[in-house]
Structure 1
Amino acid sequence: MREVAEDYVEVVLDLVQQIPPGRATTYGVIAEAAKESTGRGSARTVGTVMARYGGGVPWWRVVTASGAAADRVAGRAIELLRAEGVPLTSHDPPRVDLAEAGWEPWEDEPQM
């Protein structure tokens, strides 16, 4: 695996820390927000950051674009999402209903 710059790791983890309980977002949304301040990154890089360094933040609130939890942690992630009351689909395995529970870092910014 490639090395990820420390400043990028910090930005990603800070963004994930901001996701409120009961909500979720995607690797792509986190990547887009991180790119605004660092000028680099991708959903895949966010996945790498989460796999290596995400244990101290609410990692289960970050899912794929389809709302699915990452395969290697899916069981535990779904448990934690259910415990927070995150709306899930009836797929097997369940996915986050991003239309209802999706969160974006810029949604709390004041509108001009």
Structure 2
Amino acid sequence: MTPEEYVEEVLALVERIPPGRVMSYGGIADHLADRSGRSSARLVGSIMARHGGGVPWHRVVNSAGRLPPGHESEVRSRLRAEGAPLRGAGVDMAAADWRPVEEPHPSD
């Protein structure tokens, strides 16, 4: 998978996160690692910073539920409006973490 294809895969996955739910940078990296060979929360964070403006970027947090630095107020407001379970300065990951369920491939 090319770097550009990986960017597209990250953004496509973020678009699938339902309102009121979140994924961590590492969760995204781990989910895509099987297809890409990559597994880096830092790389996902960099992709989101550079290319994430057109997807629901506010639904991506760190593994402890902390909100993206410098955007905490906006993210908290957006997540609250979606009904996401908030806790302290972030998201209640036990309640809000989302993992995609992959559809079986037609050849399976």
- Shared fold, TM over 0.5: yes
RMSD over aligned Cα, in angstroms?
A: 1.6
Residues 40-64 of structure 1 deviation map (CA, whole Å, 9 limit, x = unaligned): 1300000000000000100000000
Could you list the runs of 5+ residues in structure 2 that have no partner in the other structure? none
- 1:41-80 matches, cutoff 5 A: 41-80=39-78
TM-score by length of structure 1 reads 0.85
Identity among equivalent positions (%) equals 50
Name structure 1 gaps, 5 residues minimum. Answer: none
State the distance in 1 between where 2:50 and 2:16 align: 19
Equivalent residues, number: 103
* Structure 1: 4+ residue segments shifted above 6 A: none
Task: Pick one of 82, 97, 101 that aligns with 1:102.
Answer: 97
- TM-score scaled to structure 2, two decimals? 0.88
CA deviations on 1:53-89 (whole Å, 9 max, x unpaired) are 0001000000001101111221111110011010001
